[in-house]
Each structure stands twice: as C-alpha cells, then as structure tokens.
Amino acid sequence: MRKKTYLKLIEYQTEQSRQHLGEVQGIYQEMRGYKHDFHHHLQTLKGQLEAGETKRALAYIEQLDRQLMNVDTLLKTGNVSLDAILSAKIAQAKGAGIAVTVKANVPDRLLLSDLELSILVGNLLDNAIEACSAAEGERFLRLFIGMKGKMLYFSMLNSAGAKLSKKGSLFSSRKEGLHGFGLRRAEAILKEHGGWCKYNSEDGAFTSEFLVPAIE
C-alpha cells in the first residue's frame, strides 16, 4: 500500500512539474513573439506617418494598445518560483475570460520547497479557474499572497457556480484522478509544515485560505 501511494505521488509530482513547465514556456514563447513583431510595427507606423496618414497611424496604435493589454508579463513577487506558477496560471485564467486581481510579495527563500509551493498554489488556482467556468455572470479571481511575520499567508476569492458539498476537509470537484490527489497532497504539505488551510463555498463564490511557516 505504501509503495502504491509513493508511486502515485511520484506520478503526480512528475505530471505537475511537466504541466507547469509547459505553461511557463508558453508565456515565454508568446512574449518572444511580441518582441519579434515590434520592429515590424515600428516600420508600419513610420511609413504611415511619412505618408501623412495620421488617422490611420493613430488607429494602428490603438489596435496595438488593445493587444498589449492582453500580454501576460511575468509577475514580480520576490520569489522566482512563485513568479513562474502565478504568471502561468493567471495567463490561463485571463485566456478563459476571468478578471484577475493579484497582490503578492514574498521572500525569495522559503521553508517550502519549489515543488511544494507549486503544488499548493497551482492546485488552488486550478480549482479557482475550474470554479469560474461554472459561474454565471462576472468571472473573477482575487488573490493575495504575503507574509504575516514568519508565516506565508494565501487568500483567494473567486466566482463559482452553486454551493459545493464537502467531503471531509475538502470540497467536491468536477475533475477526477490526479487532480483530487493533488488537493489532498496540498493539504498534507501544509500539515507537514505546521500550517492550516480553510475553504468556504457559497452560491456564486468560493474562498481559499492558508497560513504556513515560511521563514526561519
């Protein structure tokens, strides 16, 4: 039984790492694309202005401005690993039409390993994105991550569908398999480090919160 659980854990962590790496690489490629196109945009604008087509140039600038509003730049939280996972998940959320608000500021060195941090934050954001897809009306995700003394504090409010039923300390999910295992693994990580988590489900909204020792 222990060997089976261990193998499932390895499988989950491998899949989690592969998924997050793919998400971060996607953002990197998108940003490289915008950098590559920048020279062409300048040449187009130069040609329009030299031809005296001011209105056309202004319309082109407005179009570029709208596109740049959707470019997902990497967040700067103070922790490189957290920057990567937040940037990837927020890009995914915005791509799904979710209005995202983030405030995050943490130390670069934490007691949590990079993998543990990725499992904790990644799974909760996956849940939030999933919940938003079931919401009617405005889809939103509001996230705060910061320090309370030596403790890492995470708080998130997101839109959701109908109130979920609770199974033990966790709420039910529409996804099966490694997704559900990931949530249990996230809870286990918090307990291993002497932290706690709390969730609340209401019609139209879901809240996630955890506090865990993070620095010596």
Full DSSP string of the chain: -HHHHHHHHHHHHHHHHHHHHHHHHHHHHHHHHHHHHHHHHHHHHHHHHHTT-HHHHHHHHHHHHHHHTT--PPP--S-HHHHHHHHHHHHHHHHTT-EEEEEE---S--SS-HHHHHHHHHHHHHHHHHHHHT-SS--EEEEEEEEETTEEEEEEEEE-SSPPPEETTEE--S--THHHHHHHHHHHHHHHTT-EEEEEEETTEEEEEEEEE---
Torsion angles phi and psi, residue 107, rounded to 5: -70, 160
The pLDDT of residue 177 is 43
Q: Top-level CATH class of 73-213?
A: alpha beta
CA distances (Å), 169 to each of 22, 72, 216, in order?
A: 31, 34, 28
Q: Per-residue pLDDT tens for 63-112? A: 877 766 555 456 788 888 888 888 888 888 988 999 999 999 999 899 99
**pLDDT mean by block of 10 residues, the chain; 216 residues:** 63 62 60 66 84 89 72 72 85 89 93 87 90 90 96 96 73 51 80 93 92 93
The span from the CA of 12 to the CA of 171, in Å, is 20
**Percentage of residues in the chain having pLDDT higher than 90:** 30
What amino acid is encoded at 144 in this protein? F
In this prediction, residue 98 carries a pLDDT of 94
Residues in the chain: 216
Domain ranges of the chain: 73-213
Supply the angle between the helices 80-95 and 2-50 in degrees, to the nearest 10.
70
Cβ neighbours, 10 Å, residue 10: 10
